Amino acid sequence: MRENEAAVIRTLQSASGNCSFDELVANSGQSSAAVTRALTTLQERQMVRVTESEHILLRLTEEGQDYARRGLPERRLVQAILELGGEATLEQAAKRTNLPLNLASVALGWIKSAKWCEISTQMQKVVLKAAGIPDKTDIERALEQLSSKPDTSLDELPQNLRDTTETLRRRQLLVSKKQTKRYTELTSQGWKVLEEGITVPSEVSDLTPELITSQRWKSVSFRKYNIEAPVAPTWPGKRQPYRQFLDSLKTKLITLGFREMTGPIVELMFFNCDALFMPQDHPAREIHDIYFIKTDQHGDSAEFEQFIEPVSKTHENGWKTGSTGWKYPYSREEALKLILRSQGTALSARTLVSKELEIPGKYFSIARCFRPDQVDRTHLTEFNQIEGIVVGADLSLRDLLGILERFAIELAGADKVRFRPDYFPFTEPSVELQAYKEGYGWLEFGGSGIFRPELTLPLGIKVPVLAWGLGVDRLYMMRAGIDDIRMLFAQDLEWVRKQKVL
């Protein structure tokens, strides 16, 4: 028997025939790899029996620890509202409790879900009315227990608190990992070998220059190697899997003849909404759906001044588009507000007014967008959109559907696609793309359609424009077979290492 095998089986003997893998490594004097190799051989000889059990370990994130100490932001907001007399705007409550407004907006969703306040909108401000202090929730009780030590086994939590862990994970307050514990037990054959006695032959593992020159290699016994024995995995460097997918996607689109559109992340409301024929009183332009830049400054309109007048007239009365418009007085000041880009279509509007636009032409962008959504397994406050337009005469809806079907099958690996009628302020007709993959189900990818004359004519475009905007994050989720969007940006090295190179 080899030295590492003898050390392992003797350690088991000292432990009354049963101990964990970690105990074997600690007490045998062998490395983890040596113990693993020894167990493989001992199992083949039926001297030991190895069993495994899985445990889920839970640990609060830094944000989770903060909430355990100071309270959930939604509770702090409600407490602030009560201190302000029972009714206050979201901004007032956030200021009193020193919560950033973006975090307060997220907490607003949880307040609404828990029905802790009556919520209304007055003068484009969110107003909350609280009746009293809500009871402590199971989520708060779970935070208290999980904060008592760094790692807590899921089995240690009461059953009613275990159900809250998924919510805590969605809110990025908790991380979990599976821990596999291995236990080794001596079999009757192993005890028999120990009783008969173990001998460890003297073996040489390295063929050195001294062995060769002295010719001692002729008389020594060389250790045999099992090339099928498990070894520690090696992880070479590679690109982050999602980033690699985006680069690959960009290459494929360029190969298909598309040119890339670029533009600023801090965008003007004009391109994000106005130029897309979205009225200035549209609900999607409120604080619930857009991040506003905290400044009184407005953007510069010098480069596109010629388009503001026709866009404003289109909103007010339809201008020369044949439309009746939205029938309201257009605000130039509202149009020049600075926001974080909430949709990739803003890049399409910028491209249509660009001097570099070519007709016919095909354009795409992979745009980083921002919306104050409630974070869960399918939504983030930051996300990527793949956006595209095709400009040219004699284009039809059939051309658009063909493009979308090809994208879903070739880029996402979908088995089949379907289209449903939809509504967007800036396209008519409009369709929603859904794709299906076996074992994954149907998934909504985004919207598409033909830009309305109310969008194209004020920007000087007199030919049809096919437009599509797809959730590229979800494209990759289907491609990689994952169901939690947060995994795309997680710092989970184990997940990153296991992703295949494209």
Q: Pick 284 or 315 by higher pLDDT.
A: 315
Q: Which two tokens stand for residue 318?
A: 């339809």
Non-local CB neighbours of 362 within 8 Å, separated by 6+ positions: 256, 257, 258, 259, 388, 389, 390, 391
The torsion of the CA quartet 361, 364, 369, 375, rounded to 10 degrees, works out to 130
Banded pLDDT at 234 (limits 50, 70, 90): confident
pLDDT over 80 at 316, yes or no: yes
The CATH topology of domain 241-265+342-498 is: BirA Bifunctional Protein; domain 2 (3.30.930)
pLDDT over 70 at 230, yes or no: no
Percentage with pLDDT > 90 across the chain: 33
Q: Pick 80 or 446 by higher pLDDT.
A: 80
According to CATH, where is 1.10.10.10 located in the chain? 3-55+179-218, 62-175
Task: For strands 361-370 and 259-260, give the pairing.
Answer: parallel
Task: For strands 18-20 and 174-186, give the pairing.
Answer: antiparallel
d(CA 334, CA 279): 11
Considering only the top CATH level, what class is 3-55+179-218?
A: mainly alpha
Kindly report the average pLDDT of the chain as a whole number: 87
pLDDT in tens, 253-262: 898 889 999 9
pLDDT over 80 at 276, yes or no: yes
- How many other β-carbons are positioned within 10 Å of the β-carbon of residue 376? 16
Name the DSSP class of 218.
Answer: G
Q: Pick 477 or 274 by higher pLDDT.
A: 274
Q: Pick 336 or 103 by higher pLDDT.
A: 336
Name the DSSP class of 141.
Answer: H
pLDDT over 70 at 231, yes or no: no
Assign 34 to helix, strand or coil. helix
Average pLDDT over residues 97-109: 87
Name the DSSP class of 154.
Answer: G
Instruction: Kindly report the backbone phi and psi dihedral angles of residue 209, in degrees, each rounded to the nearest multiple of 5, phi listed first.
Output: -55, -35
d(CA 123, CA 54): 55
Q: What is the pLDDT of residue 272?
A: 93
Nearest residue to 451 via CA among 363, 328, 333: 363
Q: What is the pLDDT of residue 502?
A: 62
7-21, 22-36, 428-442: which has the minimum mean pLDDT? 428-442
Average pLDDT over residues 311-326: 94
Q: What is the pLDDT of residue 229?
A: 64
pLDDT over 90 at 125, yes or no: no
pLDDT over 80 at 201, yes or no: no
Name the DSSP class of 375.
Answer: P
pLDDT in tens, 479-491: 777 888 888 887 7
Q: Pick 236 or 343 by higher pLDDT.
A: 343
Average pLDDT over residues 39-60: 88
d(CA 454, CA 456): 6
Q: What is the pLDDT of residue 332?
A: 93
395-413 b/e (C-beta count within 10 Å ≥ 16 → b):
bebeebbebbbebbeebbe
d(CA 136, CA 114): 12
Domain 62-175, architecture per CATH: Orthogonal Bundle (1.10)
Nearest residue to 316 via CA among 466, 144, 458: 458
Rounded alpha-carbon distances, angstroms, from residue 20 to 3, 5, 26, 47 = 20, 16, 10, 16
Q: What is the pLDDT of residue 232?
A: 63
Q: Pick 153 or 13 by higher pLDDT.
A: 13
Q: Which two tokens stand for residue 343?
A: 């949709």
Angle at CA of residue 137, ends 131 and 143, nearest 5°: 135
1-19 b/e (C-beta count within 10 Å ≥ 16 → b):
bbbbbbbbbebbeebebeb
- How many other β-carbons are positioned within 10 Å of the β-carbon of residue 219? 8
CB 278 within 8 A of CB 425: yes
pLDDT over 80 at 190, yes or no: yes
pLDDT over 80 at 271, yes or no: yes
Q: What is the pLDDT of residue 310?
A: 96
Q: Which two tokens stand for residue 167?
A: 């919510």
Q: Pick 239 or 288 by higher pLDDT.
A: 239
pLDDT in tens, 375-402: 877 788 888 888 899 999 989 999 999 8
- How many other β-carbons are positioned within 10 Å of the β-carbon of residue 299? 18
Q: Pick 212 or 150 by higher pLDDT.
A: 212
Q: Pick 81 or 124 by higher pLDDT.
A: 81
Q: Which two tokens stand for residue 205?
A: 């593992």
Q: What is the pLDDT of residue 480?
A: 79
Q: What is the pLDDT of residue 499?
A: 78
CB 328 within 8 A of CB 334: no
Residue 120 CB burial class (10 angstroms; 0-12, 13-18, ≥19) = exposed
Banded pLDDT at 2 (limits 50, 70, 90): confident
The torsion of the CA quartet 132, 136, 139, 140, rounded to 10 degrees, works out to 110
According to CATH, where is 3.30.930.10 located in the chain? 241-265+342-498
Q: Measure the N-to-C terminal CA separation of the chain; round to a whole number of Å.
A: 45
d(CA 187, CA 17): 8
Q: What is the pLDDT of residue 356?
A: 92
Query: DSSP string covering 411-472, please?
Result: HH--SEEEEEE--BTTEEEEEEEEEEETTTEEEEEEEEEEE-HHHHGGGT--S-EEEEEEEH
